Chains A and B, each alone.
Chain A
Amino acid sequence: MKSFTVAKAVTALMLAGLVLLPLYSQASGNIFILTLFTRIVILALAAASLNLIMGFGGMMSFGHAAYLGIGGYAVGMLAQEGVGSGFIQFPVALAASAIYALVIGALSLRTRGVYFIMITLAFAQMAYYVASGLARYGGDDGLTVYKRSDFSGLVNLSNRTQFYYLCLACLFAVIFLIWRIVNSRFGLVVQGLRSNEQRMQAIGFPAKRYQLVCFVISGTMCGLAGALLANNTDFVSPAVMYWTRSGDLMVMVILGGMGTLFGPVMGAVVFLLLEEFLSQLTEYWALIMGPLLLLIVLFGRGGIMGLLGRLNRG
């Protein structure tokens, strides 16, 4: 376990890079890279939360972007109604995501396999339409967040560097939490359910209850990402919840390596940098991205983490 592996080295390098990025940004005067990486860190947080149910729990949720929207709308709506304090906005965002996850999870977990994929997708799409119908909060056009969440001097979200480090701290905290969950008794039961639900039930574990709790934890974490995302863009719109965004999150998880702790972070970094790079190269970047995805699915088993693991063995 303690031995040196390529995967560990690359992960450590990436994490060091993420921590030191603001220094580079300050030294080179490149502000754009900090903005880009704030977005990357937030979406990495969302991908990590998805990985908890997808990679460790075997629940293929195709509606994870809904939480990004719910967390974001919680911040945006409260800000519009004059509640600017982050100490209220963030707990509300998390609670709203948890409640949504509880209801959706309780319904969706009655099904499995491809039904589960489609159900979570359909519910997220429902959330999308509901947000589009909210005329008071901008409807289709979305809602501008004029003032970022106010943490009364503790941390200033309008300061780029402070906001970046807040997001990074949230990401690390969530990954630490996932690590603790995965290695706890609870986490082992959930992973056992992924491998063989019938057997686990036969030993006497109430399968659905464990899965539902895991689903809610994951949704709450993603709600946090949503609240941060709304602060990052100063804007929240139904488009945040559109199903292609859920697809993007899934791709990040798979690309990085499903069921690994840092895989989703790596996936998010690579996916979003690739998107950025390709979109600068050509306006039609999806023309390359699409077939690339197909190739990754066909030939890239285990994602980047799997690839790095193989490097080590060979």
Chain B
Amino acid sequence: MLLVVEQFLNGLQFGLLLFLLAAGLTLVFGIMDLVNLAHGSLYMMGAYFAATFAAWTGSFLLGALLALGATLVLGIVLEMGALRHLYGRDHLDHVLATFGLILFFNEAVRLIWGPAGLALPLPAWLTVPVPILPGIHYPAYRLAIIVVALLVALLLYLGVMRTRIGMLIRAGASNREMIGALGINIKLLYTLVFGLGAALAGLAGMMQAPILTVQIGMGENILILAFVIIVIGGIGSIRGAFLAAIFVGMIDTLGRAFLPNLLRQVLSGAAASTAAPALSSMLIYLLMAIVLVVRPEGLFPANRR
């Protein structure tokens, strides 16, 4: 029981984290029609910034806040300096150009911070276990991630659906020439959206940082998960990204936690312990394959024009 609740919450927390990453990716794709592989690099930069700023200021929260601003600025600079010139190009060009950016960022991090990873220590008030149910404790920091990510998801939803900027973003997604003709500064809008996506990725990176180490290439594996999520959820759909992210986070976490035991009941011990790690890392890809067979456009396709 304890394990089930704990793993369930871990899955939720991982899923929400994935959502932050996938939301930026799907926004940028849905609105600018840009495939950004370097999104994972922004995740990594967020973590490195947070570790550095937290060490400088001595405060976890202040460091995180500064890092959030820094990734936002980095995203805006990146958009204005390089990615802006890729809009309207072939998707293949996006893939290659942003692949080049990944190489650049990984190497730049190696140059600046060195090849060894960094650690981002938690403040004491976030390390205490919190009782959530009678007799069940859960780390405060993981709970904090859940709360922050849910809050961000809510703000994002309200921002996109209820504000003027959100309206312009949605309008830009469905017809960019028209909204430009109506006198909206579409370039500025794109830059803002990209910056927002970058900040979301950075936030995900810095929140994950205390749990895992901050290291080069940390953004790449999780980026592929984010891709799987937006493919399952339907590209360009924030709602789809949210549901698919939770789903993928749950399946991945629960699969890794319980699949070995389940397999052991069916197979012999040795066979189970060889098959389990491979199978549990395959789970989400199998899920994706099933979704593709049933709904090739994803579960919640955004462009129902």
Contact A298 B85, beta carbon cutoff 8 Å: yes
Chain B interface helix/strand/loop/mixed: helix
CA distance A78 to B22 in the complex (A): 40
Contact B292 A119, beta carbon cutoff 8 Å: yes
Q: Chain A contacts of B285 at CB under 8 A?
A: 122-123, 125-126
Q: Count chain A residues whose beta carbon lies closer than 8 angstroms to a beta carbon of B.
A: 43
CA distance A244 to B231 in the complex (A): 20
CA distance A197 to B224 in the complex (A): 28
Contact with A along B61-104 (1 / 0, CB 8 A): 00000000000000000000010011001011101110111111
Is B21's beta carbon under 8 Å from chain A?
Answer: no
Name, among A123, A136, A284, the residue most crowded by chain B CB atoms within 10 Å (CB to CB). A284
Given A119-B288, A293-B97, A297-B97, are A133 and B104 neighbors across the interface (CB < 8 Å)?
Answer: no
Contact B281 A115, beta carbon cutoff 8 Å: no
Contact with A along B268-296 (1 / 0, CB 8 A): 00000110011101100100110011001
Contact A130 B101, beta carbon cutoff 8 Å: no
Is B138's beta carbon under 8 Å from chain A?
Answer: no
Is B246's beta carbon under 8 Å from chain A?
Answer: no
Contact A247 B281, beta carbon cutoff 8 Å: no
Q: Chain A contacts of B231 at CB under 8 A?
A: 111, 115, 118-119, 122
Contact A284 B111, beta carbon cutoff 8 Å: yes
Q: Chain B contacts of A251 at CB under 8 A?
A: 96, 99
Given A284-B107, A287-B104, A289-B100, are A117 and B91 neighbors across the interface (CB < 8 Å)?
Answer: yes
User: Closest residue to B98 on the A side, CB-wise?
Assistant: A294
Contact B108 A297, beta carbon cutoff 8 Å: no
Q: Chain B contacts of A113 at CB under 8 A?
A: 91
The smallest C-beta distance from A140 to any residue of chain B, in angstroms, reads 10
Q: Chain B contacts of A121 at CB under 8 A?
A: 224, 227
Q: Chain A contacts of B273 at CB under 8 A?
A: 135
Is B228's beta carbon under 8 Å from chain A?
Answer: yes
The smallest C-beta distance from A148 to any residue of chain B, in angstroms, reads 27
Is B29's beta carbon under 8 Å from chain A?
Answer: yes
Q: Count chain B residues whose beta carbon lies closer than 8 angstroms to a beta carbon of A.
A: 46
Contact B281 A60, beta carbon cutoff 8 Å: no
In the complex, which of the residues B35, B104, B221, B230 contacts A117, with contact meaning CB atoms closer than 8 Å? B35
Is B235's beta carbon under 8 Å from chain A?
Answer: yes
Contact B106 A286, beta carbon cutoff 8 Å: yes
User: Closest residue to B92 on the A side, CB-wise?
Assistant: A60
The smallest C-beta distance from A130 to any residue of chain B, in angstroms, reads 5
CA distance A89 to B281 in the complex (A): 28
Contact with B along A138-172 (1 / 0, CB 8 A): 00000000000000000000000000000000000
Q: Chain A contacts of B99 at CB under 8 A?
A: 244, 247, 250-251, 293
Q: Chain A contacts of B110 at CB under 8 A?
A: 284
User: Closest residue to B97 on the A side, CB-wise?
Assistant: A297
User: Closest residue to B279 on the A side, CB-wise?
Assistant: A133
CA distance A28 to B40 in the complex (A): 46
User: Closest residue to A125 on the B side, CB-wise?
Assistant: B224
Contact A114 B91, beta carbon cutoff 8 Å: yes
The smallest C-beta distance from A133 to any residue of chain B, in angstroms, reads 3
Is A292's beta carbon under 8 Å from chain B?
Answer: yes
Contact A117 B97, beta carbon cutoff 8 Å: no
The smallest C-beta distance from B260 to any residue of chain A, in angstroms, reads 12
Given A110-B292, A114-B29, are A122 and B228 neighbors across the interface (CB < 8 Å)?
Answer: yes
CA distance A60 to B94 in the complex (A): 12
Name, among A122, A135, A136, A296, the residue most crowded by chain B CB atoms within 10 Å (CB to CB). A122
Contact with B along A178-207 (1 / 0, CB 8 A): 000000000000000000000000000000
CA distance A84 to B108 in the complex (A): 44
CA distance A123 to B86 in the complex (A): 27
Is A174's beta carbon under 8 Å from chain B?
Answer: no
Contact A286 B107, beta carbon cutoff 8 Å: yes
Contact with B along A281-301 (1 / 0, CB 8 A): 000111101111110111000
Contact B288 A122, beta carbon cutoff 8 Å: yes
Q: Chain B contacts of A60 at CB under 8 A?
A: 91-92, 95
Q: Chain B contacts of A111 at CB under 8 A?
A: 231, 292, 296
CA distance A298 to B85 in the complex (A): 8
Q: Chain A contacts of B85 at CB under 8 A?
A: 298
User: Closest residue to A251 on the B side, CB-wise?
Assistant: B96
Q: Chain A contacts of B35 at CB under 8 A?
A: 114, 117
The smallest C-beta distance from B297 to any residue of chain A, in angstroms, reads 8
Is A37's beta carbon under 8 Å from chain B?
Answer: no
Q: Chain B contacts of A118 at CB under 8 A?
A: 227-228, 230-231
Is A62's beta carbon under 8 Å from chain B?
Answer: yes
CA distance A115 to B279 in the complex (A): 24
Given A107-B289, A118-B227, are A134 and B278 neighbors across the interface (CB < 8 Å)?
Answer: yes
Chain B residues 229 to 249 lying within 8 A of chain A, measured CB to CB, are 230-231, 235
Contact B100 A133, beta carbon cutoff 8 Å: no
Cβ contacts A to B, 10 pairs, < 8 Å:
A110-B296, A117-B92, A122-B288, A126-B281, A126-B282, A132-B281, A251-B99, A284-B107, A287-B108, A296-B96
Interface residues of A (CB under 8 A from B): 60, 62, 107-108, 110-111, 113-115, 117-119, 121-123, 125-126, 129-130, 132-136, 243-244, 247, 250-251, 254, 284-287, 289-294, 296-298
Known: A114-B235, A244-B99. 19 other contacts (CB 8 A): A107-B293, A108-B292, A118-B227, A122-B227, A123-B285, A125-B221, A125-B285, A129-B278, A132-B281, A134-B278, A247-B96, A284-B111, A285-B107, A286-B106, A287-B107, A287-B111, A290-B101, A294-B97, A298-B86
